[in-house]
Structure 1
Amino acid sequence: MKHLALATTLAVTALPALAKPVEVSLRPVARPAITLVPTTTETTTKVNAGFQRWVKAFLPRARAAGISDRTLTRAFRDVHFNEEVIERDRNQSEFTKSIWEYLDSAASDKRIKNGKSALRQHRRLLNQIERSYGVDKEIVTAVWGLESAYGEYRGDHNVIEALATLAYDGRRGKFFEGQLIEALKILQTGDTTAAKLKGSWAGAMGHTQFIPSSYQAFAVDFTGDGRRDIWSDNPADALASTAAYLKKHGWVTGQPWGVEVTLPRGFNYGLASRKIKKNPAEWARLGVRSANGGKVPNYGGASILLPAGHRGAAFMVFKNFQVISRYNLSTSYVIGVGHLADRLEGDGPLKTNWPRNDRALTFAERKEMQTLLTKKGFDTQGVDGLIGPMTLASIRAFQSARGDVPDGYASLSLLKKLRR
């Protein structure tokens, strides 16, 4: 299980639309909402009884995985079915914020100001981490800023209770039971106590929100005190663990995540694909330039990314973009981390305007788009509300047939054209 491919495998909170950006955890998730059946005292009693039966049946499986009775007794003391966890899990709204709305919050003035303050306060530590792992301190700080607002929102849920509740719920029971076993192992090795094992309602923990399996695989003891303490007010172990995670997933020292670029008139938008890689010199021969006007230095193979189609910002993204995506699959998240890191380093805002008169499509609208494309002869090979390669190809074919720019962007304006 990759750490925080959470956009697809682990329930995480998506921010609602905000009038002003506020500094909270920014972790997007793409899922349809599910309506809960209203609970009553009778149903709650039945669920609690069922949960306790599940715990009783789980204990032998935990023992078989090497968890001691002493650890189980400490971990499950006062643990109950947590209805709020299930409600949060099932009522997650799909991620419907546009890229520009997301970046308004990810790189808000407050988040930039607090990030620069965190860099100053922890500069010695962050410099040590950068030297040890080769990961830019601004990238590590940006992950910290998006995951917990620089440690301010680390989560206060009992992780054992949250994971047990989600495992009992059964919708993704096998995954969460596996995370529960790993969390119990954390307690057993003494890295923290049951009282301090706190995190999000979905079991993500610490300053940079590791899930238990990723903690086991990648967390480090940077302070040398014998514990990998990502929960402490001292963020050293958590920040170093984040750098270690990125390094082990292929971080290239000295390479940017991406560079904002401008595309020439008549650009072949079929080349704007993560599957197509060219070095910056090759892109330059096709007329692609840095948004600052010059050529992009040779940082290695790169793709062109258009998160809002041809009317928004364009980016030339490198391997480190993919590395950050191993932390969270959402394109908005990766750009958010990268752009916030750039701002913390002193860069200014993006130079290209966004199509702010547009908005992101809802889950139902994306399904409607797929249905209409297929009916008009541009088969998306299924209707699932996900804009994958087949839907992207169908959109481009439809745009080409109309004489529009074939950028493959699933916009509201495109949906309106399909409806007509």
Structure 2
Amino acid sequence: MSDRKARPFLRALTVAGLSLALMLPAGSAFADAGFRQWVESFRTTATQNGVSGATFDRAFRGITEIDPVVLEKARFQPEFVAPTWDYFDNRVHDESVATGRQMARQWKPWLDRIEKRFGVDRHILLAIWSMESNYGEILKRDDVMRSVVRSLATLGYADKRRAKFARTQLIAALKILQSGDIDESHLTGSWAGAMGHTQFIPTSYQAYAVDMDGNGKRDIWSSVPDALGTAANLLAKNGWQSGRTWGYEVVLPPGRKFPSGSMSLDKWASIGVKRANGKPFVSGSDQAELKVLDGRQGPAFLVIKNFSVIKRYNNADKYALAVGLLADEIAGYGGMVQDWNRPFTKLSFVERQELQQRLSQYGYYSGKFDGKIGSGSRSAIMAYQAKIGMQQDGHPSMEVLSRLRRNQ
């Protein structure tokens, strides 16, 4: 809310009272009253921005208090900074590749149509689907999916850092309801309001959502064709080059420095940079930039235009590279030639699940056996390492799993 519109509310509460209201549990009558007053004030903002009163009232029916889980997630600042290998191990693995290939077969007729309409490689879309929602599996989890309206209203009311973003997204979410594409009971998303199989925030949905299956609704929540078509539309409208790759893993010649900007692939080749698999670059005139995410001794990549287009989905080099690498593996092009710098023997996805199961069996771990190594898994590994006298690094290693298998 603007400062001008906030004044009546601020006059009703002292500064100390306002702080207390935000710190009190959601069940507190005082906190609830403040939230309900904010909702009523925001109703005016929404109607001034093209949302009907009826739509607003329908959207907020039954929402009388903030969502404390949303604030908990918004305030959580992880202490652990994931090394490069950890980010990719949790996203590009044998399970995500196998499921991607299964989905490629299952949705082939629709992927054919989407590829023909938008010109975006199907394997890139499948990789994004995996990265964003684990091929839709996250949408089935009640502990993850929340009311988009309540989540954004909570952030708009109680999170100063995200308030402006949340209010903008809330207006967009209300307009999505007003359009009839989805009803309020199915307008669900992450704690920050990312929605559907391909996790679009409301404003991005408004800009790119398509009705791929032709049923009159742009339903990225329950229609896989709509969700993948919407992702393809985003990439296409941001300059995706059809028939081109995202980049190449390369081998760098030893003992020399490289420019930070872009050069043609032919120019890179002329100074000794070669593809890691020994094949020639497909189009030597393509402008490419060097990416070394794990130090000079780690794997290196030359990335071209489509890499930057993937970053319009998520503006992070790690994200775009994970999408590209996963897409290549789903397509059958093979994985990386050089592994990330890791100080341990890597586990397969199934072995990582086994690691979690055995840690749970011995009382160190209480989370899901999902093969993803997060803070809970790392803490459990460190506790076990301390018990048996190993270095407490928290790494999901074959060394740790072997000791667990011996029940030591």
TM-score (norm 1): 0.73
1:294 paired residue among 256, 267, 279: 279
Residue type matched to 2:87 in 1? Answer: Y
1:143 paired residue among 116, 128, 136: 128
**Equivalent in the alignment of 2:199:** 209
After TM superposition, give the deviation of residue 69 of structure 1 in Å.
1.4
* SS at structure 2 position matched to 1:302: strand
Q: Describe the superposition over 1:308-358 as per-residue Cα deviations: whole angstroms up to 9, x where unpaired.
A: 110100000001111001101122111111100000000222111322139
After TM superposition, give the deviation of residue 265 of structure 1 in Å.
1.5
1:48 paired residue among 17, 29, 32: 32
| Contact persistence 2:262–2:288 (CA under 8 A) | yes
* SS at structure 1 position matched to 2:306: helix
2:335 paired residue among 322, 325, 349: 349
1:306 paired residue among 281, 288, 292: 292
* SS at structure 2 position matched to 1:195: helix
**Equivalent in the alignment of 2:153:** 164
Residue type matched to 1:78 in 2? Answer: G
**Structure 2, gaps ≥5 residues long:** 1-20, 345-408
**Structure 1, gaps ≥5 residues long:** 1-36, 359-420
| Contact persistence 1:306–1:312 (CA under 8 A) | yes
| Contact persistence 1:284–1:295 (CA under 8 A) | no
Q: Which has the higher contact order (CA 8 A, sep 6+)?
A: 1
User: Residues of 1 paired with 2:173 and 2:229: CA distance?
Assistant: 20
| 1:191 corresponds to 2:185 | no
**Equivalent in the alignment of 1:104:** 89
After TM superposition, give the deviation of residue 40 of structure 1 in Å.
5.3
What count of residue pairs does the alignment treat as equivalent? 317
User: Residues of 1 paired with 2:310 and 2:149: CA distance?
Assistant: 28
**Equivalent in the alignment of 2:257:** 268
| 1:331 corresponds to 2:321 | no
| 1:222 corresponds to 2:206 | no
**Equivalent in the alignment of 2:376:** none
| Contact persistence 1:279–1:298 (CA under 8 A) | no
After TM superposition, give the deviation of residue 227 of structure 1 in Å.
1.0
RMSD: 1.9
2:67 paired residue among 78, 82, 93: 82
| Contact persistence 1:313–1:353 (CA under 8 A) | yes
1:176 paired residue among 143, 158, 166: 166
Residue type matched to 2:124 in 1? Answer: I
Distance 1:40 1:68, change over 3 A: closer
**Equivalent in the alignment of 1:318:** 304
* Greater helix content: 2
Residue type matched to 2:120 in 1? Answer: V
**Equivalent in the alignment of 1:117:** 102
After TM superposition, give the deviation of residue 47 of structure 1 in Å.
2.5
**Equivalent in the alignment of 1:283:** 268
Distance 1:207 1:116, change over 3 A: same
Q: Report the structure number with the largest CA radius of gyration.
A: 2
